[in-house]
Amino acid sequence: MTSAPLGDGGDAERLDATLQAWAQQWHASGLVGDVEHRHEPDDRGHFHWLVRLRGEEKHVITIWLSLRQRTVHFETEVMPAPEENREELYRFLLVKNADLYGLHLAIGPEEGIYLVTSVPTGEVTVDRLDELVGATVTYVDEIFPTAMSMGLASLYRRRVR
């Protein structure tokens, strides 16, 4: 397996332009809310963006993008750390993980459940971004109600549409 090429000084500007072009196509749909960008890198040299989306099952889906040395890391929290039925929930998530394309489930910060992926910097186009965001929204809407009903059963009640 070969590595993605090292990024250069223009990667943040190119990624920001790609995100803005993508968001402009979707703003009229009401699916995309804000796209925020932190213009200074963090202490590791990574630049960050937040994309807020409207979901069906989960009201707001936030995707964090981090521009790293060679890749753009995508992540979104599906649910906070489970408090109940952990074994049953983790089994459900592992089985579901096998059906996911382009993203995978992971335990993230503070033991929350996340969807994540990394894409080589040069492969983040408007079309690729559209594919990943679409998959994220679809998977969160599929997984969220069942996962919440299992892992936070005493707190979560599925909303009636």
Q: What is the pLDDT of residues 43-95, one digit of tens each?
A: 888 999 999 998 888 989 999 999 998 999 999 999 999 999 999 999 999 99
Is residue 160 domain-resident? no
The tens digit of pLDDT for each residue in 82-97 reads: 999 999 999 999 999 9
Q: Which neighbouring-strand residues pair with 66?
A: 48, 73
Q: Write the CATH number for 67.
A: 3.30.1460.10
pTM of the model: 0.87
Range of the domain at 114: 11-151
**158 domain residue, yes or no:** no
3-state SS, 95-123, equals HHHCCCCCCEEEECHHHCEEEEEEEEHHH
C-alpha distances in angstroms, 80 versus 2, 69, 99, 104, 128? 35, 29, 22, 16, 27
Please tell me the distance from the alpha carbon of residue 132 to that of residue 148, in angstroms, as a whole number. Answer: 23
